Structure 1
């Protein structure tokens, strides 16, 4: 991997860590309806406002690096299809082996098709997006810079600004960001940055960071003051601007560390491990998690972040192990297929 890309590899890691933080809040704090002091409720609103860029920047990165792809890579497609199912199935088998879950062969078989069954909403949408990349690239390259900006501007008005002011997202929406259409929108944003740079006037990294922090504070304060209004959505106006600003900030920093590259290679497996259905239930119901988070009102926010660090590290190690096993199996299969193809070619040429 080229050194100039290491800042974006760091961004992948940051984005995945923020995803884990969001899951600590969603699957533990909010799911268990923990009673919080006013101070911690306010701090939690601030924290949530800063982490909602996590999924957005992941897809913007994809648009940034894939805009010049002309065709799909067959092995990449297979990897996106098979790896989630492999990891999900192995985790289920492991839990069954330890007696945490009753053995069920059909359940295991079902896990192998995790990408298609929607066990991981992000993976299913990402896979669908990946299939459209060559066509999306043709459309984008057919646009002039002005036309591309007009498309993004109109889509922002219809899918980001408008839904914020209506009562039901069934009318005009990106489904709060949980949709393929929204992923395509973010892909166009990333492609524009790669092809033409900033949308209006380029700013310094300090200014981009200031926009991210400033809007994060405003969003968190508004969410705390008006809890009946949902300011925190992936496709929220503030969150879209924050995602763009943070991406542009990262694009302007220099990172020199090969370790960053290696860690980033397996960050997606962090998601595949801790969001696997049975693992998710196991993790967020661990007594140690509840103990840490509910230890003291003073340590509440640090505890949320500590749990996120522990889950991230543990999931990365497990994900790295399972991905390595998958990669070795994949190499054996491809080697076997390539050998048979070569044998058939030799037989044909000898006739």
Structure 2
């Protein structure tokens, strides 16, 4: 059995990614982005520079999943645990609003008991889809040649990301939903595995780190 080595950098990245998620929610849900829209001034530029800087937060989690998880033995019980954890909160919140006298319909209960397939939380739904594919990727990724793995990554990003942007097209079958889709998380999972395969710690130079940040 392969010995696991604690990586403090991974934990730091998780913490920092959570901080970035808080920042992006403050900008969005807090109404800051809306308050500066319409006029390109110093406040507008500051807001969107910060937003662009923290937009990679979710990408970091997907990369970490691939980096640390592609050699692990996947347990299907994780799917059940994820579903039950999310359902616990959705059912609890639905009951809470019911007690407050809010109108709760049958569709609300369906969403509460089946939060994953009804898209109650986009990341949970996308990540659940990624988890379904993990057993197959965890068999293939450690065995693929690095050259073939690199070609698969480049092809995936060109077809699913680069070309739709350059051609200004929106094809639902190829849609990455601005980084909010299962397909995007799968691509990043593969990239994370690739980085682990090439041992990115040997490439611990500012150039590579900055390039990875921009790429993600």
Band of TM-score, shorter chain: 0.7 to 0.9
Once residues 102 and 24 of structure 1 are traced to their aligned partners in structure 2, the CA distance between those partners, rounded to angstroms, is: 28
Query: How do 1:157-306 and structure 2 match up within 5 A?
Result: 157-170=158-171, 173-198=175-200, 202-204=203-205, 206-208=206-208, 211=210, 241-242=213-214
Q: CA 1:148 to 1:74, structure 2 compared with 1: closer, same or farther past 3 Å?
A: closer
Matches within 5 A, 1:1-351: 4-29=6-31, 33-35=34-36, 38-70=41-73, 72-99=74-101, 101-103=102-104, 107-170=108-171, 173-198=175-200, 202-204=203-205, 206-208=206-208, 211=210, 241-242=213-214
Query: Which string of whole-angstrom CA distances, capped at 9 and with x for unpartnered residues, describes residues 150-179 of structure 1?
Result: 111222222232222122221754232222
The two structures have a TM-score, normalised by structure 1, of 0.53
Segments of structure 2 that go 5 or more residues without pairing to the other structure are none
Q: Which of the pair has the greater relative contact order for Cα pairs under 8 Å at 6+ separation?
A: 1
After superposition, what is the alpha-carbon deviation per residue over 1:197-231, rounded to whole angstroms, capped at 9, x for unaligned?
249x8242x4455x26xxxxxxxxxxxxxxxxxxx
Q: Do the aligned residues in 2 keep the contact of 1:89 with 1:109 (CA within 8 Å)?
A: no
Q: Secondary structure at the match of 1:141?
A: coil
Kindly state the Cα deviation for residue 35 of structure 1 after the two structures are TM-superposed: 4.4
Change (3 A) 1:241 1:6: closer
Between the aligned partners of 1:35 and 1:176, the Cα distance in structure 2 is 21
Number of residue-to-residue matches in the alignment: 210
Q: 1:82 to 1:167 in 2, by over 3 A?
A: same
2: CA distance, partners of 1:186 / 1:164: 18
Any unmatched runs of 5+ in structure 1?
Answer: 213-239, 245-351
Structure 2 CA distance for partners of 1:19 and 1:34, relative to 1, 3 Å: same
Q: What's the CA shift string for 1:127-172, capped at 9, x where partnerless? A: 1111111111222233111111111122222223222212222175
* RMSD between superposed Cα atoms in Å: 2.8
Distance in 1 separating the partners of 2:107 and 2:171: 35
Local SS of the residue matching 1:114: coil
For the structure 1 residues 83 and 243, does the alpha-carbon distance in structure 2 shift closer, same or farther, using more than 3 Å as the test?
Answer: farther
What does the per-residue CA deviation read over 1:21-75, in whole Å, with 9 as the maximum and x for residues that have no partner?
22232334268x32466111010111011011111111111111111134x3133
Distance (Å, rounded) in 2 between the aligned partners of 1:20 and 1:26: 10
Distance 1:160 1:10 in 2: 28
CA–CA distance in structure 2, aligned partners of residues 110 and 198 of structure 1: 41
Structure 2 CA distance for partners of 1:93 and 1:196, relative to 1, 3 Å: same
Question: CA contact under 8 A between 1:22 and 1:48: conserved in structure 2?
Answer: yes
Aligned-partner SS, 1:115: coil
- Counterpart contact for 1:53–1:243, Cα < 8 Å: no
